[in-house]
Structure 1
Amino acid sequence: MVKKREAIDEKYKWDLTTIFATDEAFEAELAEVLTALEDARNLAGTLTDSAENLLAVTDTELALMQRVEKLYVYASMKNDQDTTVSLYQEYQAKVTALYAKFSEVFAFYEPEFMTLSQERFAQFVIDQPKLQTYGHFFEQLFDRKAHVLSSAEEALLAGASEIFGAGAETFEILDNADIVFPTIRDAQGQDVQLSHGNYISFMESSNREVRKAAYQALYSIYEQYQHTYAKTLQTNVKVHNFTAKTRHYHSAREAALSTNHIPEAVYDTLVQAVNDHLPLLHRYIQLRSDILKIDDLKMYDVYAPLSTTDYKFTYEEAVVKTQGTLAIFGPDYLEKVKRSFEENWIDVQENKGKRSGAYSGGSYDTNAFMLLNWQDTLDNLFTLVHEMGHSMHSSFTRESQPYVYGDYSIFLAEIASTTNENILTETLLHDVEDDETRFAVLNHFLDGFRGTVFRQTQFAEFEHAIHEADAAGTVLTSEFLNQQYAELNEKYYGLAASDNPEIQYEWARIPHFYYNYYVFQYATGFAAASALADKIVNGTEQDKADYLNYLRAGSSDYPLDVIAKAGVDMTSADYLTAAFAVFEKRLTELEALVAKHG
């Protein structure tokens, strides 16, 4: 059974007292920020009176946003560590409301700013040179001018933000706190309760009956609640489409990508490139069938280990391997990695009620915390290295940029994490000499590529299709979603939907469908990371320096320009073609090993 949180050793828990020493300190700061927000209401109508006012109001807004984010991180992470604790559910609700109130109070900002002409703004910068600090920030505002509404309309949208988030919040509570999965028999014949955290371990079992039991047990729950999940997802899609239309975008996708100044062509180029290379995925699936000696391969077999090598890592071993692998970036990077372990930035083990999956979080004023649900697998080593990439990106950015540029776009986020994964793969392939272990590493890379490039693009296709369907007036019933997902899955894997009835419900368990066109960036990020990893492993010291400068850039420039300076042009399909070439090369090597050993 999954442990309760109090049974977990403190060394495996993150130290959130570095954010607020006590819950009482959090509550006191929350009260102060609420008061400060009320005082800030008086700023409305004054923004463009003078250069001094523009600076003062901007400083005030960003300073309050900085405090709000710190409150949010504490409350959300306290809630994530155990979603069954009512106090932290309450804190989560309060900070969500605080975000909504902040948006409401400062809803005047963009509409008032948009009344400034470029000429008058240029004079303001001459009158008050400190405004130059916010140069790119203001440039981005001017870019959005056609999509900013009146002060009254912005206030209405801001006031409704908490309501707009209801679909995603309901999904999260249902999926993490309320859903109880069945008990199954593991390979040793022991009864084990299925959970988000241990499900993938069962899917990686060498025992096909265990895989099948876990798979069917999990999806029996999603089948049971499919109508509720369809309603939460439909609500979320409707919010995206409504907001985009209200702001005069052609589509929800255009609205989502414009936030990061990303042309929609980048999305379409990815989908086209992946579809063009689906024969490679089908070839890998066939190789799986051959190695496993399964004529009727099912979806519950696609995670089955092809390797019989027990290539696993305890958490302590993973810490050592992570530090050794990431030392390639130099002493500054490595020092930060060591700090993350020594100062308890990481919540390691699964416990009852803990949010599933893994992430890197934090705010400008906190450590770059990481949440894991550790299992002693090679995959979890890669997860640790992946989240460490995010956290190092955050740390370099926050140390190098003022708060206004102290974060980075989602589009760039996955590049830092998957560069680390690619370097770990290169390291392991360099270190291992025997065929069995090499086979295991190649298997892991190909599975990772499948899960990141192929699978996330499959998600991206589904996400775009359901947004377009809703915009066209189609009701997103569970029946419609099931059919769309089953057909798409069959196209990607080449496995008949009729032989894999449970997979039609997979859409219901994917939290990223609530993140508003987020998932495609896993795939573009992985492909870009492939190019960058090659530069770091085989390139010059200047290549490493350029990469670290990308980590330091934050949001001080447009994302495509930031990554171009590190050496990758993401407006071209070349980086995708190169990534598929690596996949094919390693697939061919795996096929050769299989042929060699019969």
Structure 2
Amino acid sequence: MTAVYPSLESAEFAEGFANVVKEINDLAQLLDTHHIGDKGPDVVDDSLIGIFEALIDRYNAVIDNTRTLSTYINCFITTDSQDTVAQARMSELQRSLVLLSTLGTRMTAWIGTLDVDALIARSKLASEHAYMLHKTKQQAEHLMSQDEESLAAELNVSSGRAWSKLHGDLTSQLLISLEVDGRVQELPMSVIRNLAYDTNRDVRRRAYEAELAGWKRAALPLAASLNSIKNEVSVLARRRRWESPLAASLFSSSIDQQTLDAMLTAARASFPDFRRYLQAKARVLGLSRLAWYDLVAPVGSSEKVWEFEDARNFIVEQFGSYSEKLSQFAARAFCQRWIDAEPRPGKRDGAFCASLRRDESRILSNFKPAFRGMSTLAHELGHGYHNTNLAQRTALQRSLPMTLAETASIFCETIVSQAALQRADRQEQIVILEESLQNSCQIVVDISSRFLFEQGVFAQRSKRELSIEELNELMLNAQRETYGDDLEQSLLHPYMWAVKGHYYSTGRSFYNYPYMFGLLFGLGLYAHYQRDPESFKRGYDDLLSSTGMADAATLAARFGIDLRSEAFWNASLDIVRGDIERFEQLIAG
């Protein structure tokens, strides 16, 4: 992080912080000077074009600098939620972030009054932001009044954002008692959850039981958080005249209901295939049926140990099989220490990649020395490569939807998985295929359960608050509907609603189906690459750089893909079905 500022307490950081605050205040003054949002429609003439271009240039610069500062601070918080200096700086920044959100709303309302087609025809800058302008004009139709939007943004700091922050702080600092090697230890929840990958079933079972006990202990404030956030989202969606929170989510995701329905229908049709995989895994483990704590249990034996250095070398090498540019990017990320790898107390669970500035990213992981740890790194580096291709675009052009955010990550993960399979003996192939199928099962089957759960929460929360027991039952019902009876029904995970931070976001409801979209879209693109590598390479980087400049269907059409057709999604799932068949054959000997 010292590439940006020496530390959170340095003079350079203080200066950068003050500059961002000033830039936001200056932007507010500029909007006031031009009476943006204070009057009716403006005629598109030379004067208005000059105002528009000045505002967009300034707004892009402010977003860039604010994102860098915010990401810089957040990297300290997510790697150590007990960093009180970072927490204080983020709290101080919130006031300016609220103002920036309010200014964005004012600009959205103003653009909604303009003849954007006339503006695009007369301004080069407007034409370069054509997609943003058309989408913003649609969004303007769903705004509350300026005062109401300002109030919602200001209150969000102590409502939705505060509940979300509580979830992050509480779960990252949650310590769980577990006996390990004959000694009771207090371990972070992230370490406990990593024990689900242990080869010893008794260790997995005890970790699962300890985890559930930990979530039960923390359930009261987490249920309050979830109830509050979902109610806030529902109220705002209704006030903004969205048909439902899902309708607002689809708009943000740049897809339509027909696309979502086609994908979910194809996913449901694949459940019997995934159940075959779960049955096969149970046979390998010598079980009649898997318990929840067996879902990610390792299968097969492998002499290959993926230490961090091994993962780095393999990723850099295999990315080079696609292109030198991709390989050099990965080498740079490792060399410049963009990755915080190991799990530890106070660190957020899971993995993510954050865009820091232009072509630089930072990656958080909880690396485990196994194939999954390596493939997760490749996945997150794919996000970083995506950010690198977006670097040439303005901040507004880089505002891509979640559905397309997984495009490069899935592609890069598939590159290393396929390469590892080619080099592996039979036992290693079983290990690699099983871990790949674990991931696919999570993203297709488990994501479907999370989607059903969130639908149920929104439907019931519109009537009243849900109790912990009701949240548990909604989650269990969703798991039963998707996994079927191929999991031990008495050993599911009722507290999965407490685990996943994705539920605790006011800005990203239904933060689940985009992952399924990303997997299946990424697999479809990889299949295209296999059919015609050179043609694919000529268009792929440009596709990545354009993901904030067109909707998903338009971008997919560049590769002859029809997202509204179940056939495309079924074709992507056929790749997974092929892996299931290969896995069944390998374990049969």
Relative to the length of structure 2, the TM-score reads 0.91
Query: Is residue 412 of structure 1 aligned with residue 393 of structure 2?
Result: no
Alignment counterpart, residue 564 of structure 2, candidates 546, 565, 571:
571
Deviation per CA, 1:81-125, whole angstroms, max 9, x where unpaired? Answer: 21111101112222333211212344422222322245xx61685
Query: Is residue 157 of structure 1 aligned with residue 157 of structure 2?
Result: no
Query: Is residue 587 of structure 1 aligned with residue 580 of structure 2?
Result: yes
Instruction: Mark the CA change 1:27 to 1:594 in structure 2 (over 3 Å): closer, same or farther.
Output: same
- Cross-structure match for 1:263: 256
- Cross-structure match for 1:291: 284
How far has the Cα of 1:567 moved from its partner?
Answer: 4.3
What is the correspondence of 1:429-444 to structure 2 with a 5 Å cutoff? Answer: 429-432=421-424, 434-444=425-435
Contact 2:72–2:356 under 8 Å retained in 1: no
Contact 1:222–1:505 under 8 Å retained in 2: yes
Distance 1:132 1:584 in 2: 43
What is the correspondence of 1:414-563 to structure 2 with a 5 Å cutoff? Answer: 414-432=406-424, 434-471=425-462, 473-495=463-485, 499-500=489-490, 503-514=493-504, 515-563=508-556
Contact 1:147–1:247 under 8 Å retained in 2: yes
Instruction: Mark the CA change 1:287 to 1:192 in structure 2 (over 3 Å): closer, same or farther.
Output: farther
How far has the Cα of 1:191 moved from its partner?
Answer: 4.7
Deviation per CA, 1:246-303, whole angstroms, max 9, x where unpaired? Answer: 1110000111111233102322333322222221222222222222112353211222
- Cross-structure match for 2:134: 139
Q: Which moved more, 1:78-87 or 1:402-411?
A: 402-411
Distance 1:349 1:96 in 2: 29
Distance 1:149 1:181 in 2: 45
Instruction: Mark the CA change 1:328 to 1:53 in structure 2 (over 3 Å): closer, same or farther.
Output: same
Distance 1:299 1:245 in 2: 37
- Cross-structure match for 2:118: 122
Query: Is residue 317 of structure 1 aligned with residue 310 of structure 2?
Result: yes
- Cross-structure match for 1:392: 385
Identity %: 20
Distance 2:80 2:277 in 1: 39
Query: Is residue 175 of structure 1 aligned with residue 171 of structure 2?
Result: yes
Contact 1:103–1:159 under 8 Å retained in 2: no
Q: Which moved more, 1:450-459 or 1:574-583?
A: 574-583
- Cross-structure match for 1:71: 69
DSSP 3-state at the match of 1:149: coil
How far has the Cα of 1:342 moved from its partner?
Answer: 1.3
Q: Which moved more, 1:573-582 or 1:66-75?
A: 573-582
Question: Aligned letter for 1:171?
Answer: H
- Cross-structure match for 1:46: 35
Contact 1:362–1:368 under 8 Å retained in 2: yes
Query: Is residue 306 of structure 1 aligned with residue 306 of structure 2?
Result: no
Contact 1:80–1:354 under 8 Å retained in 2: yes
Contact 2:338–2:363 under 8 Å retained in 1: yes
How far has the Cα of 1:190 moved from its partner?
Answer: 5.4
DSSP 3-state at the match of 1:116: coil
What is the correspondence of 1:319-358 to structure 2 with a 5 Å cutoff? Answer: 319-358=312-351
Distance 2:406 2:438 in 1: 17
Contact 1:51–1:125 under 8 Å retained in 2: no
DSSP 3-state at the match of 1:287: helix
Question: Aligned letter for 2:55?
Answer: V
Q: Which moved more, 1:54-63 or 1:225-234?
A: 54-63
Instruction: Mark the CA change 1:311 to 1:329 in structure 2 (over 3 Å): closer, same or farther.
Output: same
DSSP 3-state at the match of 1:360: strand
Distance 2:213 2:586 in 1: 38
Distance 2:131 2:521 in 1: 25
How far has the Cα of 1:498 moved from its partner?
Answer: 8.1
Question: Aligned letter for 2:17?
Answer: L
How far has the Cα of 1:157 moved from its partner?
Answer: 2.4
Contact 2:318–2:327 under 8 Å retained in 1: no
Question: Aligned letter for 1:81?
Answer: T
Deviation per CA, 1:437-491, whole angstroms, max 9, x where unpaired? Answer: 12112212211211222212221221122122223x1432211111111122122
Distance 1:592 1:22 in 2: 54
Distance 1:426 1:17 in 2: 36
How far has the Cα of 1:324 moved from its partner?
Answer: 1.6
- Cross-structure match for 1:402: 394
- Cross-structure match for 1:8: none
Distance 1:371 1:545 in 2: 31
Instruction: Mark the CA change 1:309 to 1:528 in structure 2 (over 3 Å): closer, same or farther.
Output: same
Q: Which moved more, 1:440-449 or 1:265-274?
A: 265-274
How far has the Cα of 1:496 moved from its partner?
Answer: 8.3
DSSP 3-state at the match of 1:160: helix
Instruction: Mark the CA change 1:267 to 1:469 in structure 2 (over 3 Å): closer, same or farther.
Output: farther
Question: Aligned letter for 1:579?
Answer: S
Instruction: Mark the CA change 1:146 to 1:541 in structure 2 (over 3 Å): closer, same or farther.
Output: same
How far has the Cα of 1:558 moved from its partner?
Answer: 2.0
Instruction: Mark the CA change 1:94 to 1:305 in structure 2 (over 3 Å): closer, same or farther.
Output: same
- Cross-structure match for 1:10: none
Instruction: Mark the CA change 1:537 to 1:153 in structure 2 (over 3 Å): closer, same or farther.
Output: same
Q: Which moved more, 1:381-390 or 1:23-32?
A: 23-32
Q: Which moved more, 1:479-488 or 1:144-153?
A: 144-153
Deviation per CA, 1:115-148, whole angstroms, max 9, x where unpaired? Answer: 2245xx616853x544333332222222223212
- Cross-structure match for 2:363: 370
- Cross-structure match for 1:9: none
Distance 2:97 2:65 in 1: 11
- Cross-structure match for 1:82: 80
Distance 1:105 1:404 in 2: 14
Contact 1:20–1:26 under 8 Å retained in 2: yes
DSSP 3-state at the match of 2:355: coil
How far has the Cα of 1:76 moved from its partner?
Answer: 0.5
Distance 1:386 1:595 in 2: 30
Q: Which moved more, 1:577-586 or 1:519-528?
A: 577-586
Distance 1:131 1:440 in 2: 51
Instruction: Mark the CA change 1:464 to 1:328 in structure 2 (over 3 Å): closer, same or farther.
Output: farther
Q: Which moved more, 1:129-138 or 1:389-398?
A: 129-138
Query: Is residue 275 of structure 1 aligned with residue 260 of structure 2?
Result: no
Instruction: Mark the CA change 1:536 to 1:312 in structure 2 (over 3 Å): closer, same or farther.
Output: farther
Distance 2:189 2:373 in 1: 14
Distance 1:129 1:419 in 2: 33
Question: Aligned letter for 2:27?
Answer: A
Query: Is residue 17 of structure 1 aligned with residue 2 of structure 2?
Result: yes
- Cross-structure match for 1:98: 96
How far has the Cα of 1:352 moved from its partner?
Answer: 2.5
Deviation per CA, 1:8-53, whole angstroms, max 9, x where unpaired? Answer: xxxxxxxx11222343322222223323333333323534572212
- Cross-structure match for 2:39: none
Contact 1:182–1:218 under 8 Å retained in 2: no
How far has the Cα of 1:388 moved from its partner?
Answer: 0.7
Query: Is residue 35 of structure 1 aligned with residue 22 of structure 2?
Result: yes
DSSP 3-state at the match of 2:58: helix
Distance 1:278 1:132 in 2: 44
> What count of residue pairs does the alignment treat as equivalent?
572
Q: Which moved more, 1:479-488 or 1:558-567?
A: 558-567
DSSP 3-state at the match of 2:360: coil
